[in-house]
Amino acid sequence: MSEELQEKLRNQLWMVANALRGNMSPSDFMYFSLGFIFYKYLSEKIEMHVNDELSYDGLTFQQAWNGKDESLKEDIKQTCIENLGYFIQPENLYSSIIDLINKKENILPALERSMKRIEDSTIGQESEDDFGGLFSDIDLASPKLGRTADDKNRLVSEVLIALNGIDFGLKEADDIDILGDAYEYMISQFAAGAGKKAGEFYTPQEVSEILAEVVTTDRTRLKDVFDPTCGSGSLLLRTAKNGKADAIYGQEKNPTTFNLCRMNMLLHGVKYKDFDIRNGDTLEADEFGDRQFDAIVANPPFSAIWSAAAKFNNDDRFSPAGVLAPKSKADFAFIQHMLYHLNEQGTMACVAPHGVLFRGSSEGKIRQFLIDKKNYIDAIIGLPANIFYGTSIPTCIIVAKKCRKEDDSILFIDASKDFDKVKNQNKLRKEHIEKIIETYRTRAEIAKYSHNATLQEIEENDYNLNIPRYVDSFEAQEEIDIQTVMQEIKSLEAKRSELDKEIESYFKELGLIF
């Protein structure tokens, strides 16, 4: 039943979201629709929580709040803040907005006020950082919702009514993230239509699965997991789930995506006390100081521009290598940042463009430092081209550890040819993912697929990690017998000559010149 409910909920939510589409870009209507879904979720969650708490007294949330027992009201509010992280008065619940719609009222002022009061309820509380500004991207005065105030009110009302008719399945979601799964599906659908912009907030689930499985290898439980460029948080959530992580940490530069990530955490049932997502530029303003983590996963923006300012020569994240990543390509800066935050027994896995494997100059020096001086690089996994939204370039996964032994090899896996073509996108199937993970865990040598390269081999290749140097995936062509081909050509020439003579005789019979 749970799988059926998940599928039904996915389809229902997607249909409602598309009702908002109009002339909006995919990213615009994503934030409106996901924000409304989140508001409904928070309302239903708190109603269910308070009603359960009051069930012994034979009261409902609405009845208790309409009563005169002020101490009971204060207890309700404090219990919600402590357990859920926020509070919503009955008059600001989603159901109250629906009542206003049924009365044919303009709901926009009340809706805006309700969402603001959710955020305000956390001010001064432990949950303030997790809820502050969550609804800031929902601009109910936006012309994208309609030309006039009536147009805006009509569209938003229609969407909220449609959402109201959908059962989020919260009472059935104790063990399975029914709503979280549907929310994740919607993010992926938005990403599919968002073009290049999708890379800012979404990592395909297949890639997330590989990264999550890699960093949880030989680990029964993670203390914490960290993603310094966390986007919508999908990769973090999958890794935390795989590793049964106690806490989730992340940083995201884009304020809108930062909001989306926090919503995603809460919708997946992660308690506000168990995640710490911060808004800021990871490289320019590291929010986590010298904190280190059990597992680090990331899909940083490929070849991003960063300042590479002189001050970073004295930054402990970058200074040990003696050089900085170039301004036009921050890939190694992200890798160094992640390694700095990785604890001694942890594993890091991040996606990167192939250029980091072989480019020279400062990047070559950083690469040599990480291999020769630190021995951090554990594996290089080559992925197929065109599996990420917004870019068709082939990519790789770099796996690193700080606890490698001196004679440990570097595993190279060339999985670039294992994919299925689905419309305009290449997709990794279950068998492709399993092969990558199994090969990584067993470090098996498979012809034309994987190879364990010794550090001496790496040195002999001048610390160039380009996969074809270590995995020969060249498919030999069938040998051609030149003599046989020449004989066939002569035979064909003779046949052509005979046909020309035959055609010429027909032309003569017709009195025509050949």
Task: Say which CATH number the domain at 431 has.
Answer: 3.40.50.150
Same domain (yes/no): 311, 419: yes
* Statement to judge: residues 157 and 201 lie in one domain: no
303 and 399 fall within a common domain: yes
- Do both 183 and 206 map to the same domain? no
Q: Determine the structural domain holding residue 46 and report its residue range.
A: 2-193
* Co-location of 61 and 130 in the same domain: yes
Strand partners, 349: 297, 399
Torsion of the alpha carbons at 168, 169, 170 and 176, rounded to the nearest 10: -120
According to DSSP, the residues that pair with 379 across neighbouring strands are 399, 411
- Cα atoms in the 13 Å half-sphere on the side-chain side of 128: 5
Structural domain includes residue 28: yes
- 475 part of a folded domain: no
Buried b (16+ CB within 10 A) or exposed e, 16-54: bbeebeeebebbbbbbbbbbbbbbbbbbbbbbebbeebb
Q: Enter the pTM of the model.
A: 0.87
* pLDDT score of 222: 96
C-alpha to C-alpha distance for 418 and 107, rounded to whole angstroms: 52
Pair 129, 48 in one domain: yes
| 150 and 227 together in one domain | no
Q: Which of 245, 177, 244, 159 is closest to 9 using CA atoms? A: 177
Provide the 8-state DSSP code for 373.
I
> In the structure encoding, which two tokens stand for residue 199, read together?
């890379």
Alpha helices of 103-171 — where are they, by DSSP H? Answer: 108-120, 128-131, 149-164
Does 387 lie in the same domain as 294?
yes
Angstrom distance (rounded) from CA 47 to CA 40: 11
For 306-349, give the DSSP string. ----GGGGG-TTTGGGSS---TT--HHHHHHHHHHTEEEEEEEE
Cβ contacts of 54 within 8 Å, gap of 6 or more: 60, 61, 64, 76
User: What one-character DSSP code corresponds to residue 143?
Assistant: G
The whole-angstrom separation of Cα 416 and Cα 57 is 62
> How far is residue 333's CA from residue 373's CA, in Å, rounded to a whole number?
17
Cβ atoms of 88 and 119 closer than 8 Å: no
Identify whether 474 is part of a domain.
no
CA atoms of 271 and 267, how far apart (whole Å): 10
The domain total for the chain is 3
For residues 34 and 121, state if they share a domain: yes
Do 290 and 408 share a domain, yes or no?
yes
Kindly give the parts of the chain with pLDDT less than 70. 1-3, 5, 21-23, 26-27, 172-177, 192-201, 390, 473-479, 513-514
